[in-house]
Structure 1
Amino acid sequence: MTWYAWRATTPNGKSERGTLQADTPRQVRQHLRELGMTPVSIEETAAPGAGKATRGKKFSSNSLALFTRQLATLTNAALPLESALRVIARQTEDKKFAQALTSVHEKVVEGHSLSEALAEYPQTFDNLYRTLVTAGEKTGHLGSVLDKLADYNEIRQQMKSKLTQAMVYPITLTIVAITVISILLVAVVPQVVGQFVQMKQELPFTTRTLIVVSDFLTAYGLYILVAIVGGIIGFRYWLKKGNNRMRYHRWQVKSSPLQKLVRAINSARYIRTLSILQASGVPLLEAMIISVDGLENLFVRERLLEAADKVRQGATLNSSLEQTQLFPPMMLYMVASGEESGELGPLMERAADNQDKGLQHRITLTLAIFEPVLVITMASVVLFIVMSILQPILQLNNMVG
């Protein structure tokens, strides 16, 4: 038997919705007529409660971005929301995500708004997502709002993918180089150099240095590895205690070597989110508070909430953001221009685009410098090991000669 979502009208004209299990839609229609109701629509759906097990699950950003783009396309094509959700759920390859979308479709069929249905999955559809959907439903421009939301999700996904791709090569190169050098120092060097030690000849300084390093790693290498793993676990445990996470995030923004990068990432994400909310008709103060939810750095969130409080008291957006000391001068200038011209949303979006381009250029430049430096450093270490082994051999040949 299959579950069907039905919609019907009572004799007094009232609309009713529900689900019923039957072999065919005809049986559902017959049952409704026996209850004195006139069927309006009968559609196949998931069993009641389907998807509840996945409500606490966070689905991949790829699935979310694809769903948003598909829903925006179908909505702009004037396809009813219920039909659009059903079509997307049927063609989604991720079975659990398809189950969640079926549950969302069921809630919409029952008469709930899309934002209310999405609230069943807060881990995937966050406060920003649901607020934008609510704004689109209230203004009657759900399709255009979903387009902006799809663009936003795709931009974030592209930035994440580019950063991941850019880091794969140097991280792989570093791990391989460290592994090879460690094997040389721990397994190969002691056997080769041991032959020279047995001859009781004075060894070159480089060879003696290599022996000391090799002996140290052989004796304490395992302890060092355990200490590193323990340090990582201890650090993660430390972050969960008290106000330590706030201290760490403050250090990231104020004192870390990557402080400029941290500020650039958070400021660009905040401004882009704020521009989308503004363009969707969300009031500025509410938009500032919602935009903070998309940031992970607690110190940045605290400063931006203070900025929102200043705006509530009557200050301008530009002056409030300037006091946070998180935003570059060019971005603040564009925000000020937007306030003066009444084009705050578009100018903030342009400022976010410029910040993203600058961020990508900075990451590319850093990696372009880092990769050859890493190669040269590792090559120098290997050269030192080879020379330390070759020098005693050359000395031995000279003695024999």
Structure 2
Amino acid sequence: MPAFDYSALNASGRKVTGVMEADSPRTVRQQLREKSLIPLDVHATKNQLSSVGGLLSNNRLSGTDIAIITRQLATLIHSGLPLENGLQAIGQQAEKNRIKRVILAVRAKVREGHSFADSLRQFPKAFPHLYCATVSAGEKSGHLDIVLSRLADYIEAQQLFRQKIQLALIYPIILLVMSVTIVSGLMIYVVPDIIQVIIDAGQKLPLLTQLLVSLSNLIGQWGIWLLPTLVIGGFLANAFLQNPKAKRLWHKRLLHLWGIKRFSRGTNAARYISTLAILTQSGIALSEAMPIASAVVPNIFFRETLELANSKVIEGHSLSRSLEDTALFPPMMLQLIYSGEQSGELANMLERAAITQENDLQRKIATLVSLFEPLTLVVMGGVVLIIVLAVLLPILNLNQLVG
């Protein structure tokens, strides 16, 4: 059943909009009148362009939206509700019209006889390849509700991790911005006036004070161009990284750069293994799951290396040995995968390896974030101390001369 966008007037004369499923626009108008609404405009939702392969940018759903939809659908299917009815219930109660359009359009494809996974693939901006492949495996295995629950757990864990980092960074970032603003104000407006008084008194400036004056003049003259320069620099860097060769080279550098290589490798490895775990647990063969899992890895060089590992697995090599040859995976993770292969519990050990690696990364990030705040205080305190010393030194010298 197609979906229609509508706009109507309610009893108080306020305009309301929404999405409704019906056989025709005439039926929509009739249903609106039954709800004491005066229809103004009814037309087929633009999202149904998906039936001919066209998609609009407003089809994109956030990770939080997808997690909620997945959890609700898993609960409804587990309770015995047919997939079509579950999609209808979710679509009708969705508060965001964007979600309602997508869900009702997916339901329309399901009613036409398409599989749920194929219906989702009509909206690649809303449902990524990993999501569709996992749903397809759930349909084939007959355990769609279990697979959807695992998907919801996976998406919620990723969203929770991002939220923790964002919340943890709010205060340090505010502190840093305020500190930079205060120091800049001192350098531009306060320091020059104080120094000018000392110069007018005929006092020779110490080296530290001379350096501070030079820096203050530099900030005063060129500080206004700092933000435009950063914006232009960011734009040029982004344009440079749009080149495939440059982007690949940069991604390769990130995996070997001292200080961040362990974090960069660990992040990509955890993303890959966690995806591989959920796919194998859903019944997808390892040789089919590896290309899907590698596709969600953000680092291009890491992804290319995984393609070589996939080729080795197809040739008959073990997963642990193939991943070890890449020299990009932590030893602990490889040992867990090897144990899973030996015990016949590869899917469970992949999940354990992913959880272990993600927990390790979260601890490292939490430690770095916790250190960022006191480090900011120490650095800003040091900067203020230098400013105070640079101002006080000539004043003390001046007092000694007067004495």
The answer to whether the aligner puts 1:241 opposite 2:235 as a matched pair is no
Distance 1:115 1:394, change over 3 A: same
- Any conservation in 2 of the 1:50–1:103 contact (CA below 8 Å)? no
- TM-score, normalised to structure 2, is 0.86
Of 33, 40, 47, the residue aligned with 1:51 is: 47
Q: How far off its partner does 1:378 sit?
A: 0.4
Distance 1:25 1:230, change over 3 A: closer
The answer to whether the aligner puts 1:101 opposite 2:103 as a matched pair is yes
Q: How far off its partner does 1:20 sit?
A: 4.1
Distance 1:20 1:210, change over 3 A: closer
1:92 partner amino acid: A
Q: How far off its partner does 1:95 sit?
A: 1.6
Determine the structure 2 residue equivalent to 1:203: 205
Of 172, 175, 181, the residue aligned with 2:174 is: 172
The aligned runs of 1:89-128 (5 Å cut-off) are 89-128=91-130
Give the whole-Å Cα distance in 1 for the aligned partners of 2:367 and 2:24.
61
Distance 1:162 1:21, change over 3 A: same
Of 316, 320, 332, the residue aligned with 2:334 is: 332
- Any conservation in 2 of the 1:338–1:348 contact (CA below 8 Å)? yes
Determine the structure 2 residue equivalent to 1:189: 191
- TM-score, normalised to structure 1, is 0.86
Give the whole-Å Cα distance in 2 for the aligned partners of 1:23 and 1:240.
49
1:51 partner amino acid: N
| Greater shift in the superposed pair: 157-166 or 144-153 | 157-166
Give the whole-Å Cα distance in 1 for the aligned partners of 2:29 and 2:182.
67
Distance 1:223 1:25, change over 3 A: closer
Determine the structure 1 residue equivalent to 2:391: 389
Q: Deviations over 1:271-292 (max 9, x none)?
A: 1111111111101011000001
Q: How far off its partner does 1:223 sit?
A: 4.1
The answer to whether the aligner puts 1:284 opposite 2:286 as a matched pair is yes
- Any conservation in 2 of the 1:55–1:100 contact (CA below 8 Å)? no
| Greater shift in the superposed pair: 124-133 or 391-400 | 391-400
- Any conservation in 1 of the 2:267–2:361 contact (CA below 8 Å)? yes
Determine the structure 2 residue equivalent to 1:84: 86
| Greater shift in the superposed pair: 63-72 or 195-204 | 195-204
Identity %: 38
Distance 1:380 1:122, change over 3 A: same
The aligned runs of 1:2-401 (5 Å cut-off) are 19-23=23-27, 48-52=44-48, 55-56=56-57, 57-401=59-403
Determine the structure 2 residue equivalent to 1:36: none
Distance 1:26 1:226, change over 3 A: closer
Determine the structure 2 residue equivalent to 1:9: none
Q: Deviations over 1:15-71 (max 9, x none)?
A: xxx9445449999xxxxxxxxxxxxxxxxxx96554247644321111011111111
Structure 1: segments with no counterpart, 5+ residues:
5-17, 28-45
Give the whole-Å Cα distance in 2 for the aligned partners of 1:269 and 1:279.
16
- Any conservation in 2 of the 1:253–1:259 contact (CA below 8 Å)? yes
Q: Deviations over 1:92-150 (max 9, x none)?
A: 22221111111111211222211121112101211111111111111111000101111
| Greater shift in the superposed pair: 167-176 or 260-269 | 167-176
Give the whole-Å Cα distance in 2 for the aligned partners of 1:231 and 1:317.
42
- Any conservation in 1 of the 2:3–2:45 contact (CA below 8 Å)? no
Give the whole-Å Cα distance in 1 for the aligned partners of 2:240 and 2:107.
43
Give the whole-Å Cα distance in 1 for the aligned partners of 2:240 and 2:30.
62
Give the whole-Å Cα distance in 2 for the aligned partners of 1:55 and 1:282.
31
- Any conservation in 1 of the 2:3–2:101 contact (CA below 8 Å)? no
Structure 2: segments with no counterpart, 5+ residues:
5-21, 32-41, 50-54
Give the whole-Å Cα distance in 2 for the aligned partners of 1:50 and 1:219.
53
Q: How far off its partner does 1:393 sit?
A: 3.0
Q: Deviations over 1:275-318 (max 9, x none)?
A: 11111110101100000121111011101111001111111101
Give the whole-Å Cα distance in 2 for the aligned partners of 1:23 and 1:203.
86
| Greater shift in the superposed pair: 202-211 or 251-260 | 202-211
Distance 1:119 1:47, change over 3 A: farther
- Any conservation in 1 of the 2:3–2:104 contact (CA below 8 Å)? no
Give the whole-Å Cα distance in 2 for the aligned partners of 1:64 and 1:336.
33
- Any conservation in 2 of the 1:3–1:22 contact (CA below 8 Å)? no
Give the whole-Å Cα distance in 1 for the aligned partners of 2:64 and 2:207.
56
